[in-house]
């Protein structure tokens, strides 16, 4: 049994949640204390079957990227990082988006005076100076601010502009086993810095055909970065988000993704879930806001799958070829069916 102690505000829930279909036992205790206002302390006991021994060669940087907006990049970045942290893995989430949604989604208000990703890219501060502790004990954040938008212009003439984030993160690789980068919805200099700094790219995709149209542009960008700037960049995988398995369209899109990506399509899928939509307004990951929700379960399952897979290994297809990987293992891309979960627990939006 592994335990995680979390200190936060505004969370007063005590309960036990068992989800045996993916080997999770989550025990939460919280109590109320009065000292300079209201404070809450939460104790969480979390155990994952088959994860007692984690690989030693972690320190992986995963960029969550897709140039199409509204596909769940920030939701995926926040909740994936939180799930890593809940498994007692030191995790860092870096907000690389000027909209700073990952920052506010973890409960941090906008503050132009705070050291953020902008200062890292401009060389005005170190990554260590930008670290913020979050509600989860083993999760840290490097925040963003709208000023980051100016980095696209200020770095145009800068020397080694594509390597600024990579160089800033180098001292932190030994401290954190996973570093998750939340990229903006554009293939700009900010996303370029994230992809050059990353070991792999996690691609969230909505189960709609418009989402399929933009994937080739992102894969072409990954290929060009491999060739010129980051030969080690790999495809971590594709995760289907906002999935409504009741529709034929969603099933067709998942089948299309499976035919193109093979085992690089994660078995874990993220359903449309009201708790995932509500959690950011409370400044909490879904795992803390409502650990019983299907949204929280789906990201725990995704984190488990990434850890079990270990470092991404995929061949580098030449430009113009379709990226395919023959599925040979348990991760064949088929969405999981959540047997035993009743309709009253689905919490799906319309």
Per-residue pLDDT tens digits for 91-120: 999 999 999 999 999 999 989 899 999 999
What's residue 247's pLDDT?
86
**Best CA proximity match to 81, nearest among 98, 109, 106:** 106
Contact (CB, 8 A) for 239 and 269: yes
Low-confidence stretches of the chain (pLDDT beneath 70): 1-58, 311-350
List of residues 6+ apart from 78 with CB closer than 8 A: 93, 102, 105, 106, 182, 280, 285
What's residue 252's pLDDT?
87
Pairing of strands 132-133, 139-142: antiparallel
**For residue 225, what are the CA distances in angstroms to 30, 58, 228?**
47, 22, 5
pLDDT tens readout for residues 254-308 = 888 888 889 999 999 999 999 999 999 999 999 999 999 999 999 999 999 999 9
Contact (CB, 8 A) for 181 and 197: yes
pTM of the model: 0.74
What's residue 215's pLDDT?
81
Contact (CB, 8 A) for 320 and 243: no
What's residue 311's pLDDT?
63
Contact (CB, 8 A) for 29 and 166: no
DSSP symbols for 19-88: EGGGTEEEEEEEEEEESSSEEEEEEEEEEETT-SS--S---EEEEE--SSSSSSHHHHHHHHHHHHHHTT
Question: What is the rounded average pLDDT for all residues in the chain?
Answer: 77
What's residue 214's pLDDT?
73
Token duo for residue 238 = 């594709």
Contact (CB, 8 A) for 169 and 197: yes
Cα distance between residue 242 and residue 265, in whole Å: 15
Helix-then-strand count for the chain, H and E: 12, 11
Helix, strand, coil shares of the chain, percent, nearest 5, are: 35, 20, 40
Angle ∠(213,214,216) on CA atoms, nearest 5: 90
What's residue 33's pLDDT?
32
Q: E strands along 273-320, which residues?
A: none
Class of residue 350 by CB neighbours under 10 A (exposed 0-12, middle 13-18, buried 19+)? exposed
**For residue 348, what are the CA distances in angstroms to 100, 209, 291, 342?**
26, 21, 15, 12
């Amino acid at each position: 049994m592994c335990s995680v102690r979390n200190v936060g505000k505004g969370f007063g829930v005590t309960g036990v949640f068992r989800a045996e279909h993916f080997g999770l036992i989550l025990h939460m205790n919280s109590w109320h204390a009065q000292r300079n206002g209201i404070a809450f302390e939460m104790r969480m006991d979390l155990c994952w079957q088959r994860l007692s021994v984690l690989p030693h060669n972690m320190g992986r940087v995963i960029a969550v990227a897709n140039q199409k907006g509204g596909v769940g990049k920030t939701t995926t970045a926040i909740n994936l990082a939180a799930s890593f942290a809940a498994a007692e893995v030191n995790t860092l989430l870096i907000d690389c988006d000027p909209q700073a949604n990952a920052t506010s989604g973890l409960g941090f208000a906008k503050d132009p005076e705070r050291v953020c990703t902008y200062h890292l890219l401009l060389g005005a501060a170190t990554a260590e100076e930008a670290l913020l502790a979050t509600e989860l004990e083993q999760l840290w954040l490097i925040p963003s601010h709208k000023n980051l938008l100016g980095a696209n212009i200020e770095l145009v003439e800068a020397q080694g502009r594509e390597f600024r984030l990579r160089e800033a993160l180098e001292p932190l690789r030994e401290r954190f086993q996973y570093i998750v980068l939340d990229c903006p919805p554009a293939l700009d200099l900010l996303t370029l810095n994230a992809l050059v700094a990353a070991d792999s790219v996690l691609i969230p995709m909505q189960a709609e055909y418009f989402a399929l149209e933009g994937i080739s542009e992102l894969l072409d960008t990954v290929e060009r970065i491999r060739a010129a700037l980051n030969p080690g960049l790999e495809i971590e995988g594709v995760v289907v988000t906002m999935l409504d398995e009741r529709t034929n369209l969603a099933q067709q899109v998942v089948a299309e993704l499976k035919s193109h990506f093979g085992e690089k399509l994660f078995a874990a899928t993220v359903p449309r879930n009201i708790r995932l939509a509500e959690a950011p307004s409370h400044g909490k990951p879904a795992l803390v806001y409502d650990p019983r929700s299907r949204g929280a379960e789906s990201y725990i399952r995704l984190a488990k799958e990434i850890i079990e897979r270990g470092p991404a290994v995929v061949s580098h297809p030449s430009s113009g070829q379709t990226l395919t990987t023959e599925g040979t293992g348990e991760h064949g891309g088929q969405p999981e069916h959540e047997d035993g979960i009743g309709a009253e627990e689905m919490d799906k939006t319309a």
